[in-house]
Amino acid sequence: MNPSLKLAWVVLLALELSFTQVWTVNVVLIVICLALMIWRRVAIKRLLWLTGVPLFFASALVWSLTLQGSASHHFLIVIFTRMFVYVYLGGLFTQTTDPLTLTRSLEQNAHLPAKFAYGFLAAFNLMPKIKAEVASIKAAALMRGQVLHVWSPQLYFKAILTAMHWSDQLSLAMVSHGFVEGAPRTHAAVIPLRHRDWWLTGGSLVLIQVGLFIGLP
């Protein structure tokens, strides 16, 4: 399925289900997402992780709502299943989409300006360097006997200086390699947006609306 449409589908559903209270639809979505993830051969370890985490948080949330609030049984079931829907929808998306294809699709299909698409990609490719930089900032401080914590301004100060330095260099490098903001571009890899994608997205959304508003519990 087209990554942009898939993203829109997942975000729209998560948003709508945050405001509606139909647990049967939640359960149906959980089953569908789980089936799709198994079909797409998501690792069993990842599936267990995706089940264990919401199980803990949903139980804790339901427990505190019972102790500290006045929620009905129906609402507790809705909240419990809702947490699983969030995690499974997100899991289905991240486990079946890679960031590069998503960015390409956002540029080509969703018409995100190229400067954003390539700017994001350029920065995301620095991820390993950024991890190493945080470690080296901490190590450098340790050599002077300073321990930098999550709440130490110095840690952020140094990280921000590096970020400014790198973004200057990276944008200059891209411009010197011929990147022009707003200029028309051709694409080496074309991400297809088929009629089938639209029908699947639209059709499933309509079905879910029917499920949400015909009075299921």
Partner 1 sequence: MKAWHLRDIILVTILAIFMGVIFFVIGPVYTILSAALAPAGLQPLANEILLGIWVMAGPLAGFIIRIPGAATLGELLGAVVEMFLGGVWGASTLISGVVQGFGSELGFILTGYKRYNWLTLVISALTTTIVTFTWSLFKEGYASYHLGFLAMLFTVRFISVFLFGGVLTKLITNLLSRAHVVKNVR
- Residues of span 171-200 touching partner 1 by CB under 8 A: 171, 174-175, 179, 181
Question: How many whole angstroms separate alpha carbon 79 and alpha carbon 31?
Answer: 17
Q: If residue 141 lies in a helix (H) or strand (E), which one and from where to where?
A: helix 127-143
- Give, in order, the Cα–Cα distances in Å from 142 to each of 135, 137, 163: 11, 9, 21
Size of the site for partner 1 (CB under 8 A): 74
Stretch that binds partner 1, among 23-31, 121-129, 183-191, 202-210 (CB under 8 A): 121-129
- Measured CA to CA, the distance from residue 8 to residue 12 in angstroms comes to 6
Q: Does 120 bind partner 1 (CB under 8 A)?
A: yes
Q: CA-to-CA distance for 71 and 57, rounded, in angstroms?
A: 17
For the CB of residue 61, give the shortest distance to partner 1 in the complex, in Å: 6
84-113: which residues touch partner 1 (CB under 8 A)?
A: 86-87, 89-91, 93-94, 99
For partner 1, the closer of residues 92 and 108 by Cβ is: 92
- Beta carbons of 194 and 5 less than 8 angstroms apart: no
For residue 28, state whether it binds partner 1 (rule: CB under 8 A): no
Q: Is 47 in the site for partner 1 (CB under 8 A)?
A: no
